[in-house]
Structure 1
Amino acid sequence: MEPVEINAGSCYLRQLRADGFIDDRPALIAAFDDPVFLRFVPGFDLSTTAAADDYVARRAQEWLDGTRCSWAIAEPTTGELLGEVGLKRLDLPHGNAETAIWLRPGARGRGLATTAVGAALRFGFGALGLTAIHYLHEPDNVASGAVAGRCGFTYIGPVLGTRDVRWTVGPGEVA
């Protein structure tokens, strides 16, 4: 599947880039060094330009493979990377996926996560024909739970064998 760009009003969703026009690598390295990010999304090491190159290439390949739709959340006038939103664990035959979202520290608290997740949900239900999208997060991540609630997800409960809790939303439930 080819990447799709989405104008979401207060932000622009586009593919992550590292080319002669836009270079998201410095912003990725800074974002993945944020203590709040590392607390809730452990296990990522994007401390070098080479690691950021691999990350951008992996996201592009996931689009092509149809396993993940991932967008850079960008400032609409400058293209500055503010975060990333996506539909991961994309299972088109069964009609479901899981939402992923993170924002750089300076982009938090402005409603961008809700806007970006809402746009990704509409793409998943409208363009991909998904029937259910899930949202998982650690219970301590109160901001993430608030985003799920504002986007129309219904709280399901703890995920066995993890610290995460699960929310779900269907096509007619997106806020």
Structure 2
Amino acid sequence: MEPVEINAGAWYLRALRADERVDDRPGLAELGERRSDFVAFRAAQWESESLCSWAVCEPTTGEMLAEVTLDPQSGSIETRSRPGHEQAARAGARAVRRFADAVFEK
């Protein structure tokens, strides 16, 4: 499955990135993620449909504030946020729940 962008009102959700335009690795480091290959790891999970993940971003800057994951098999959603951005994670989780209900109907 290709990563899907989601509009969550005050936030937008997109696949994690580490390229010449956007680098989520500093935000991931604030979440405690130190693996240098983590963005590629998440991309492989999307491709295999084993886990869907999103960076919850501030829409004007694209800054990553939180990460939301969805296990398509169980429907389980998990979040983690940078300090002070718990609201972005909660809003992202609600948007991912709506996505999951529409895409992964059981």
Confirm or deny a common fold (TM above 0.5).
Answer: yes
% identical aligned pairs? 45
Q: What is the rounded CA distance, in whole Å, between the counterparts of 2:100 and 2:69 in structure 1?
A: 10
Counterpart mapping for 1:10-21 below 5 A: 10-21=10-21
Please report the TM-score for the alignment, with normalisation by the length of structure 2.
0.92
Q: What is the number of residues matched between the two proteins?
A: 106
Structure 1, unmatched stretches of 5+, are: 33-44, 132-175
Write out the 4+ residue segments of structure 1 that deviate beyond 6 Å after TM superposition. Answer: none
Please report the TM-score for the alignment, with normalisation by the length of structure 1.
0.57
Q: Verify: 1:63 aligned to 2:39, yes or no.
A: no
Q: What is the rounded CA distance, in whole Å, between the counterparts of 1:104 and 1:124 in structure 2?
A: 24
Deviations 1:73-130 (A, max 9, x none): 1111100010100102x32xxxx3211101100313xx3232111100011010221x
Q: Secondary structure at the match of 2:78?
A: strand
RMSD: 1.3
Structure 2, unmatched stretches of 5+, are: none
Deviations 1:20-77 (A, max 9, x none): 1100111111221xxxxxxxxxxxx51xxxx2x3111111000000011100011111
Counterpart mapping for 1:13-52 below 5 A: 13-32=13-32, 46=34, 51=35
